[in-house]
Amino acid sequence: MDKTDHNILAELQRNGRLSSQALAERVGLSTSPCWRRVRKMEQSGVIKAHVAIVDPAAVGLHVLAYAQVSLEDHHPDSVAEFDSVVTARPEILECHAMSGQHDYLLKVICESIGAYDRLLSEHILRIKAVHTVNTSFVLRTNKSTTALPLEL
């Protein structure tokens, strides 16, 4: 990837709805070569998706939480069960295997604390290998972005 590809990605991260022509003008290319570069990045997986970023509060999702999960064991069957439950739950936006004191970090969004409690009691805590769950609730979001720092 060269500087032009990075410029294309930066523009698309700012506004994924740019037309091919507008994008090409912003990065100093003609439309066809710009479109080919975008297509190549889509096909190679550099660009994973074109999505709308929805305001959670506008759709009734008011509780954002981070849950640190520790498993009692790491047997492949235990990990598979955990992964299966986590993958099936739409409230769980992200799941990261972690180094350190806890095994996983979950990013969870729900309409209420009660909904989070139900997710925990009806799904997460029913996984046999789950030992502990420590939850922190977001009080205020100071920064939230999906744009990657391409200049690094």
Structure tokens at 130: 């789950």
Structure tokens at 143: 């920064």
d(CA 69, CA 140): 22
Q: Are residues 21 and 75 in the same domain?
A: no
In a domain, 37, yes or no: yes
Q: Is 47 exposed, middle or buried (0-12, 13-18, 19+ CB in 10 A)?
A: middle
Give the three-state DSSP class for 68. Answer: strand
CB-based contact 105:67 (threshold 8 Å): yes
The dihedral sign for the CA sequence 113, 118, 121, 127: negative
Q: Are residues 17 and 69 in the same domain?
A: no
68-87 mean pLDDT: 97
Cβ neighbours for 55, distance < 8 A, ≥ 6 positions apart: none
Average model confidence (pLDDT) across the chain: 97
Q: Are residues 18 and 60 in the same domain?
A: no
- 82 pLDDT exceeds 90? yes
- When divided into structural domains, the chain yields a total of 2
* Domain containing residue 16: 3-43
Give the three-state DSSP class for 144. Answer: coil
pLDDT for the residue 152: 64
Q: pTM of the full predicted structure?
A: 0.89
- 15 pLDDT exceeds 80? yes
